Amino acid sequence: MSIVSEVNSPASHDENAPEIKTTLTSEEIQNLLPHRYPFLLVDKIIDYVPGKLAVGIKNVTINEPQFQGHFPGRPLMPGVLIVEAMAQVGGIVLTQLPEVEGGLFVFAGIDKIRFRRQVVPGDQLVMTVELLWIKQRRFGKMQARAEVDGQLAAEGELMFSLVS
């Protein structure tokens, strides 16, 4: 059963329809995604529109394992982890689509990714990922954007494939 169908929010217009939760805690995210420490890169979902988009938060802290080697004396969040964090936010949207219940979404492609700003410990990464299309209930494409303090840090297109 999906998280979003279990929780109520005041936004519904039909009194009998199940209401949709628009935010998710870390625990609720772990019920939807298979990732765990140190690879769970989404701390909270602050906005969720079923079948359309999710906005997630990643609080970047110096005690994360990648900063021991990337780079000593000048810690920078690796671009691949920024992309992975955006993909995990996208996974929240994909795992909640009723027509693709079950299975695991994995990367099928990454296009037009650009890094615009460094992300460092102390930053809060705000990631907005919007579903562009889904085909044959197995393939999806999403537009992803990550910002820090309102400044664009990374953006691009993420493609996913559903595996059993």
As annotated, the active-site residues are: 70
DSSP letter (8 states) at residue 19: P
Q: Which of these, 38, 45, 30, 87, lies nearest to 67 by C-alpha position?
A: 38
Contacts of 118 (CB under 8 A, 6+ apart): 76, 77, 153
CB 114 within 8 A of CB 155: yes
How many residues are present in the chain? 164
DSSP letters, 94-161, are HHT-GGG-SSEEEEEEEEEEEE-S---TT-EEEEEEEEEEEETTTEEEEEEEEEETTEEEEEEEEEEE
